[in-house]
Structure 1
Amino acid sequence: TADRERFLLRLGVQEALGQTALFDALAATPGIVDRETKGRKAIVLFTDGHDNASTLNTFKAVQLARSVDVPIYTIAFSRVADRLLPKGSMRPGMSILARFSKETGGRLYSVADPAELKEAVIGIQGELRFQYVIGYHSMRNTWDGAFRRIKVELGRKGLEIRTRRGYYADP
């Protein structure tokens, strides 16, 4: 939302209860995204990456989250011990968060201190400001609800592209 007061009000009523149903929350994103509101949209998830109460498995949660057509940017709070992992590897909870972000066209930011948190927020803000929307019309006329993969390639070197993995051909 662009309404700062509304955002702060909603943030203030959230209560930490000790159990995290992270996959269930991500799967619920289709129900909280206002499809009528025009303009850029994104979901920013703040988490430590631990899920200890979900009823959904990872596969089903990813499937539901990517049906929203809104990128999920994850700001994951990491531990100092995470920095000691071999380069390119991450703890299991973080790899699942990376998958959610990648499947929806977002990005995972791992932060360990306030300076990194600020960098992550600025990074998300910049990505949303400079994103492009490309339209696509499938030549297939079967709307069977199946997930259809898409691939976007750039002909120019030195640019980075991030897209969602595909779309659902909803009837």
Structure 2
Amino acid sequence: MKKLIFIIITILLTAAVPVSAGPFININSIDAKTDFPRVKLNLTVVDPDSRGITGLDEENILVYEDGFRVNYVKVKDISSSTDSLYLVFAIDSSKSISKEYLEKIKKSAGEIADSAGANDRIAVLRFNDKIKLLNNFSSNKMEIINSIKSVERHGSNTVMFDAIYDSIEFLSRVKSARKGVVVFTDGKDEGSSLSNDDVIKFGKETGIPVYFIISSACKNPAPLSRVSKLTGGSLISCGDKSITGIYKVILSRIKNIYEIHYQSIVKRDNSRHVLEVRLKYGELKDRDTAEFTFWSSFLLFETEQRQVYKDPRRG
């Protein structure tokens, strides 16, 4: 009887824990050079359903440097900003994709483009064993949709990670804080000179998230899931949500940005320091970390793999 009670209690406790294990908070960028010792961070915060969380303040977001809590932190929700949203659609056009699946990809990408807002700008590229930019950033829906429709199957390899890296580099030239890469693929990479770790490192350095839209039949989503999680994006299966729902998820994550201002407590000592940002929002707890070095004349900033708080009830 005692064993049965224990099992029931365990089930009830487990049911109260969100299904998603995070990450829920992501450091997108840091500026400690412009007005040091004043530091500015850009963060993205999402709930277990990957939707942006609004209305957070200094009680919800805590900042630490080298393990010491920083005081006088100012949290500003800039989600309502009218800054333009910039997206790169990277479409897999290799022959590993069937004609039927490519048509589904083109249909999905076209419907997302058609759902874009007036301030949204989309560039389209396709990749197989080569990478080709089909149109530059544009708000002209007809131009974007025509670029998507022009994609055909070619080549023998799939340089997916090279294409994602180039997409991030292309977006890094844009000054807007609202930007992301959306990859339509079957998940295979063949022939890239760069690895998923290269993509993760570059995405974190530039603060640009990577989103994957894949078929529910994708055989190996794990590498894609890792890239999306560690860059602040998400992995979305076409079979899970409507196209409108997919775009709302992407839009919610990219447009939900917090600007954090604080006075640094470290000195320009040419040593490595650890910046940590903690989220406390009801039962939702998470943190993201970044290592940085204050040089006497410039700042080197490098993000490291985040560590996530785990509810002890999960074991």
TM-score (norm 2): 0.40
CA distance, structure 1, for counterparts of residue 161 and residue 245 of structure 2 = 26
Which of residues 196, 215, 226 in structure 2 aligns to 1:99?
A: 226
Contact 1:26 1:65 (C-alpha < 8 Å) held by counterparts: no
- CA shift in 2, pair 1:42/1:134, >3 Å: farther
Deviations 1:8-42 (A, max 9, x none): 46545555324311111122234211534334112
* Matched residue, 2:191: 53
Give the match for residue 62 of structure 1: 200
Cα separation, partners in 2 of 1:139 and 1:101, compared to 1, 3 Å: farther
Distance 1:129 1:58, change over 3 A: closer
- Displacement, 1:51? 1.0
Q: Distance in 1 between matches of 2:187 and 2:274?
A: 27
Q: Tell me the amino acid that sits aligned with residue 109 of structure 1.
A: I
Distance in 1, matches of 2:173 and 2:224, equals: 24
Whole-Å separation in 1 of the counterparts to 2:283 and 2:146: 42
The answer (yes or no) to whether the contact 1:30–1:67 under 8 Å persists in 2 is: no
In structure 2, the residue matched to 1:28 is 166
Larger RCO: 1 or 2 (CA < 8 Å, sep 6+): 2
1:110 paired with 2:245, answer: no
Cα drift, residue 49 of structure 1: 0.9
* Cα deviation, residue 96, structure 1: 0.9
CA separation of 1:69 and 1:143: change in aligned 2, threshold 3 A: farther
Aligned to 1:86: none
CA distance 1:36–1:55, shift in 2 (3 Å):
closer
Structure with greater proportional strand content: 2
Check whether the contact 1:47–1:76 (CA below 8 A) recurs between aligned residues.
yes
1:126 partner letter: S
What's the secondary structure of 1:134's corresponding residue? Answer: strand
Please report how far the alpha carbon of residue 54 of structure 1 lies from its aligned counterpart in structure 2 after TM superposition: 1.2
Question: d(CA) in 1 for partners of 2:244 and 2:277?
Answer: 30
Distance change in 2, residues 1:35/1:159 (3 Å): farther
Identity of aligned residues (%): 25
Match of 2:266 in 1: 139
Higher-Rg structure is 2
Do residues 126 (structure 1) and 252 (structure 2) align? yes
C-alpha separation between the residues in 1 aligned to 2:229 and 2:276? 13
Equivalent residue letter for 1:45:
V
CA contact (8 A) 2:209 2:228 kept: yes
Q: TM-score, normalised by structure 1?
A: 0.67
Query: Equivalences for 1:10-25 in 2 at 5 Å?
Result: 10-11=147-148, 14-18=151-155, 19-25=157-163
1:40 partner letter: R
2:210 corresponds, among 62, 72, 77, to: 72
Q: Is the 8 A contact 1:28 1:64 kept in 2?
A: no
CA offsets 1:119-157 (integer angstroms, 9 cap, x no match)? 22221122233332335768364779x9x8754322221
Task: Give secondary structure in 1 for the equivalent of 2:280.
Answer: coil
Name the aligned partner's letter for residue 239 of structure 2. Answer: A
- 1:31 counterpart SS class: helix
1:75 Cα shift?
A: 1.5
